[in-house]
Amino acid sequence: MSLPVYVRRRRTPRPQDFIANQLKIPVGEAMRFLQSLKSWEKDFDGYYINPTKRHVRPFWMVPKQAEQQALTLAAAGAAGDRAKLVQFEVDTTGHYEIESTMFVATSSDFLVEIFDGGNNMKGLQNQEIHARTIAGTARRKFIWPESYFLNVQNAPRTLLMNFRNLSAAPNTVRWSFHGRRWYHNEAPPNVAKAIWERFEDMEKTYTYFLTLQPNVPETGVWANSPAVTLAAGQALTENQAPQFHATDEADTEIHKLTYSATGAFEFQLRERQSGRTLSNGFVQVTNGWGDGEFPFVLPETLLIERNYQLLLEVRDLSGAENIIYPTLTGRRLQYA
Amino acid sequence: MRKGAAYLQHYAPTPGRSFVVRDDGKIQVDPAKRFITPFTLVTEPEEILVPASVEMCPGLLAGGGVENAVILPIDNKGPFEAVYSQFTAVFASGPDAGQPTDQFMVVIFDPEFRPVLMNREIHVRTIAGGFGSSLGAGFGTAFQSAAGRPMVWPETFFMEPTEGGKALFLAYRNLTPYPIRVKWAFHGIRYYHLPDYRAAQKEKEAMYGKGRVSFPYFYTTDTDVRLLADESFDFDVRITDEADVEIVKMNVFSDEAFLWRLMEKAGKRFLDNSGPGIAGVANGIHSALGWGDAEFPFIPFETMYYEQNSKVMISLVNALSASPNRIFPTLCCRKIHHA
């Protein structure tokens, strides 16, 4: 398990000292209190049904409009190859917590963007993201590193999505968010309160998808933006390399690496500011990046602080033009 | 770290610890470990020949069942706790002789011939690993199966030979016009030391409170479902008054993709927002977005806990295919009895 990014330091490391000081009692007495507290923590009568469990259900969220639930996009480059602001609405009967994303499509070659309409159109990504890097199917759904909470206390909430087809043929896409509903309105007051308290904290953290940011437009590698396009055998290293650029409103903790590409390549990740690399050489892509169904989960999460830049040094191995869409999936802590 | 409760909160057998720390601080081999072992329970004989079925008319099969019950016997050396299920099956004759098949149904029953872990026969692809799986989103590779992907049961099942649990019985029904050979295995834990078994039982009981007994249960439709184009079918899962039910996994085998919805009868609450379709036609969620199979089951973010005497309706619509569509859904549950 990864180390936590943020740790809290105690003013008084030993609990008995703290209790003795607070209650103005001898340290020995505080020790006895702690020992009996430990016994109490282990003293259970058995397990009983959680009262909240009755008011929580899994939930699938698909586009609000029936005609958009199977959304047909024209061939790439043709009129109608994209759909803007497709609405996914959750009504006021219960809060919704998104856990994962899934899709089925004629072709998995399309790009998406997700925005939170109820939160000033906050984007969950920095650029368009390749669909197969952030979604799977029921058999292997793409589980977000942090659930995303839609509070419907006062009004329905809407997520909005943009789709852009990349395939040469028309593409019919069915997209679904999966998660759970917390039916707070029907719950008894004590359970509703517990649900509300739980969610107050959860709104501050969210999932974020980070893809490449064009930084060297003159090289011509951005012909398929936001992908990087390599000519046969081409390598982009150091200042020529494309970069992941974390914006300044939040730190980003990266959990999963996923990609879609037209050919094989090898890569090396380099922190721009320090020059530090995350490997001791180039690594074959299949040894470090997965896809939405089988993402590569980092053994230690990677913290990208605000305004930090991570270079993706790449070298084509396919011997042909190679269009690469990498995605770093992480979570952000919003500074309120 | 994920926020919220543990992702799946079901009972899992406590792994035996290899080493224990003695009072003097030194470690030694856990004495109990010598008496708790992995164990695989297979049928007797290991391979069962299942006769061919006969298609009476399109979609209606006759025959194909095994003549005698298939026995999985446990000797008296100690109780067994079943955790996984797996199968391999091949055509015994016909044009694909020797090739793998997944076209048969299975039912598990007790010595009184009552289905014990399911309401009726279940399609094998929804209850046991062992065939391989296509991942489905249009970008996954079809995977050949391996022992690494058994069906992990939503709850373990105890068999104690000294208390009437001497055997489980299976019946197979072939869905193909050629005979097939089936090998079946339950993987689990064998307790050669009775106190350890009692401790495991007690640990399981503790999950649900005193006097409660939990075991796996598989719900499917009351009849076989074969839908023509645009045809729909609703079925109710009735949670009877002897037990609560927690739906943990959702599996299906079908010839074609389909649409589905899940509705709780009390309050008529749907678990999706798909609503009515264009011009009022039946609508729902694509099957690949809510159902897996035994090797890659769909595990909902929140398990569905239903108390006694409640009802859940599942609607199936063959709206995505012009062909007839056989649909075999299975809800993999934990049933909690008030003993």
- DSSP for B190-235, written as a single string: EESSHHHHHHHHHHHHHHH-TTEEEEEEEE--SS-EEE-TT-EEEE
Residue B33 CB coordination number (10 Å): 16
What is the token pair recorded at A257?
């690496």
Chain A residue numbers touching B267 (CB-CB < 8 A): 186
Domain ranges of chain A: 7-43, 53-203, 210-334
Query: In this structure, what DSSP letter does residue A125 have?
Result: B
Amino acid at A194: A
Does residue A206 surpass a pLDDT of 90? no
Does residue A43 surpass a pLDDT of 90? no
Residue-wise over B232-263: b if at least 16 C-beta within 10 A, else e? Answer: bbebebbbeeebbbbbbbbbbbbebbbbbbbb
Mean pLDDT over A180-205 rounds to 81
Q: Which pLDDT tens digit goes with each residue over A272-282? A: 888 899 999 99
Mean pLDDT over A206-223 rounds to 74
B207 lies within 8 A of chain A by CB: yes
pLDDT value for B242: 80
Element housing A192 (H / E): helix A189-202
- Which range of A76-85, B64-73, B141-150 scores highest in mean pLDDT? It is A76-85
Percent of chain A with pLDDT over 70: 93
Contact yes or no for A208/A252 (Cβ under 8 A): yes
Q: Which pLDDT tens digit goes with each residue over A241-255? A: 999 998 888 889 999
Query: How far apart (Å, rounded) are the C-alpha atoms in residues A302 and A299?
Result: 9
B11 lies within 8 A of chain A by CB: no
pLDDT value for B34: 76
Chain A residue numbers touching B289 (CB-CB < 8 A): 60, 102-104, 137-138, 174, 176, 178
**pLDDT category, A205, cuts 50, 70, 90?**
confident
Worst-scoring range by mean pLDDT, A75-79, B46-50, B103-107, B144-148? B144-148
Element housing A39 (H / E): helix A27-42
Chain B residue numbers touching A138 (CB-CB < 8 A): 136, 250, 287-292, 298
Contact yes or no for B286/B257 (Cβ under 8 A): yes
pLDDT value for B174: 96
CATH of domain A210-334: 2.60.120
Strand partners, A86: A161
Chain B residue numbers touching A54 (CB-CB < 8 A): 305, 307
What is the token pair recorded at B69?
């019950």
What is each CA distance from A307 to A85, A156, A246, A248, in whole angstroms?
A: 28, 34, 5, 5
A4 lies within 8 A of chain B by CB: yes
A315 lies within 8 A of chain B by CB: no
**pLDDT category, B287, cuts 50, 70, 90?**
very high
Mean pLDDT over B207-234 rounds to 85
Does residue B85 surpass a pLDDT of 60? yes
B244 to chain A: nearest residue by CA?
Answer: A49
**What is the SS3 assignment for A186?**
coil
Query: In this structure, what DSSP letter does residue A32 have?
Result: H
Query: How far apart (Å, rounded) are the C-alpha atoms in residues A166 and A229?
Result: 14
**Which one of B3, B135, B302 has the shortest CB-CB distance to A137?**
B135
Contact A60 B271 (CB under 8 A): yes
Contact B138 A56 (CB under 8 A): no
Measured N-to-C along each axis, helices A15-23 and A27-42 cross at an angle, to the nearest 10 degrees, of 120
Mean pLDDT across chain B: 84
Does residue B165 surpass a pLDDT of 60? yes
Mean pLDDT over A19-40 rounds to 94
A103 lies within 8 A of chain B by CB: yes
Residue recorded with tokens 């990609």: A259
Contact yes or no for A5/A250 (Cβ under 8 A): no
Residue A213 CB coordination number (10 Å): 17
Opening angle at CA A233, ends A230 and A237, nearest 5: 65
Contact yes or no for A55/A81 (Cβ under 8 A): no
Query: In this structure, what DSSP letter does residue B333 have?
Result: E
Q: Among residues 65-94 of chain A, which lie with CB inside 8 Å of chain B? A: 66-67, 69, 88-91, 93
Residue recorded with tokens 């990266």: A254
A67 to chain B: nearest residue by CA?
Answer: B278
Check residues A160 and B198 and name the one with the higher pLDDT: A160
Characterise B63 by phi-psi region: left (phi > 0), alpha (psi -120 to 50), beta (else): left
Contact yes or no for B329/B221 (Cβ under 8 A): yes
Worst-scoring range by mean pLDDT, A61-65, B5-9, B84-88, B173-177? B5-9
Query: In this structure, what DSSP letter does residue B298 have?
Result: B
Query: How far apart (Å, rounded) are the C-alpha atoms in residues A236 and A311?
Result: 10
Pairing of the two strands B53-57 and B60-63: antiparallel
Size of the A and B interface in Cβ pairs below 8 Å: 155
Chain A residue numbers touching B332 (CB-CB < 8 A): none
Contact yes or no for B128/B121 (Cβ under 8 A): no
Q: First and final CA of chain B: distance in angstroms?
A: 37
**pLDDT category, B9, cuts 50, 70, 90?**
very low
- DSSP string computed for A65-82: SHHHHSEEEPSTTSTTSE
B306 to chain A: nearest residue by CA?
Answer: A54
**pLDDT category, B5, cuts 50, 70, 90?**
very low
Q: Among residues 37-76 of chain B, which lie with CB inside 8 Å of chain A? A: none
Does residue A175 surpass a pLDDT of 90? yes
**pLDDT category, B207, cuts 50, 70, 90?**
low
Identify the CA nearest to A129 among candidates A335, A332, A330, A333: A330
Does residue B67 surpass a pLDDT of 70? yes
Contact yes or no for A332/A205 (Cβ under 8 A): yes
pLDDT value for B8: 33
Residues with Cβ within 8 Å of residue B218, at least 6 apart in sequence: B117, B118, B119, B122, B126, B127, B330, B331, B332, B333
B7 to chain A: nearest residue by CA?
Answer: A99
Amino acid at A195: I
Mean pLDDT over B24-50 rounds to 84
Q: Among residues 40-69 of chain A, which lie with CB inside 8 Å of chain B? A: 44-49, 53-54, 56-62, 64, 66-67, 69
Q: Which pLDDT tens digit goes with each residue over A149-172? A: 998 888 899 999 999 999 999 999
pLDDT value for B4: 32
Contact yes or no for B120/B138 (Cβ under 8 A): no
Identify the CA nearest to A156 among candidates A186, A181, A122, A188: A181
Query: How far apart (Å, rounded) are the C-alpha atoms in residues B238 and B111?
Result: 25
Mean pLDDT over B63-75 rounds to 88
- Residues written for chain A: 336
pLDDT value for A44: 76
pLDDT value for B1: 28
pLDDT value for B22: 75
- Residues written for chain B: 339
pTM: 0.85
Contact B274 A62 (CB under 8 A): yes
Query: In this structure, what DSSP letter does residue B282 have?
Result: -
What is the token pair recorded at B149?
């992907």
pLDDT value for B10: 39
Query: How far apart (Å, rounded) are the C-alpha atoms in residues A294 and B76?
Result: 43
**Which one of B209, B257, B274 has the shortest CB-CB distance to A69?**
B274
Fold equal for A53-203 and A210-334: yes
What is the token pair recorded at A334?
């919003």
Query: How far apart (Å, rounded) are the C-alpha atoms in residues B223 and B329?
Result: 11
- The CATH number corresponding to A53-203 among 2.60.40, 3.40.50, 2.40.128, 2.60.120 equals 2.60.120
**CA distance to partner chain B, nearest, from residue A24 (Å):** 36
Check residues A187 and A81 and name the one with the higher pLDDT: A81
A286 lies within 8 A of chain B by CB: no
pLDDT value for B337: 80
Does residue A208 surpass a pLDDT of 50? yes
**pLDDT category, A195, cuts 50, 70, 90?**
confident
Chain B residue numbers touching A293 (CB-CB < 8 A): 135, 137, 139-140
Worst-scoring range by mean pLDDT, A256-265, B191-200, B226-235, B304-313? B191-200
What is the token pair recorded at A198?
């739980």
Does residue B6 surpass a pLDDT of 60? no
Q: Which pLDDT tens digit goes with each residue over A91-103? A: 999 999 999 999 9
B283 to chain A: nearest residue by CA?
Answer: A66
Does residue B90 surpass a pLDDT of 70? yes
Query: How far apart (Å, rounded) are the C-alpha atoms in residues B165 and B188?
Result: 15
- DSSP string computed for B111-148: TTS-BSSBSS-EEGGGT-B-S-B---SSSSPPBPP-TT
* Cis bond upstream, residue B45 (ω within 30): yes
pLDDT value for B3: 30
**CA distance to partner chain A, nearest, from residue B306 (Å):** 8
Chain A residue numbers touching B250 (CB-CB < 8 A): 138
pLDDT value for A230: 94
Mean pLDDT over A174-182 rounds to 96
Query: How far apart (Å, rounded) are the C-alpha atoms in residues B339 and B324?
Result: 44
Opening angle at CA B176, ends B175 and B178, nearest 5: 140
pLDDT value for A202: 64
Q: Among residues 210-269 of chain B, which lie with CB inside 8 Å of chain A? A: 210, 244, 250, 257, 264, 267, 269
Query: How far apart (Å, rounded) are the C-alpha atoms in residues A141 and A144?
Result: 9
Query: How far apart (Å, rounded) are the C-alpha atoms in residues B120 and B217?
Result: 11
Contact yes or no for B154/B333 (Cβ under 8 A): yes
Amino acid at B286: H
A6 lies within 8 A of chain B by CB: no
pLDDT value for B140: 56
pLDDT value for A219: 55
Residue A66 φ/ψ, nearest 5 degrees? -60, -35
Dihedral sign computed on CA atoms, order B202, B208, B210, B213: negative
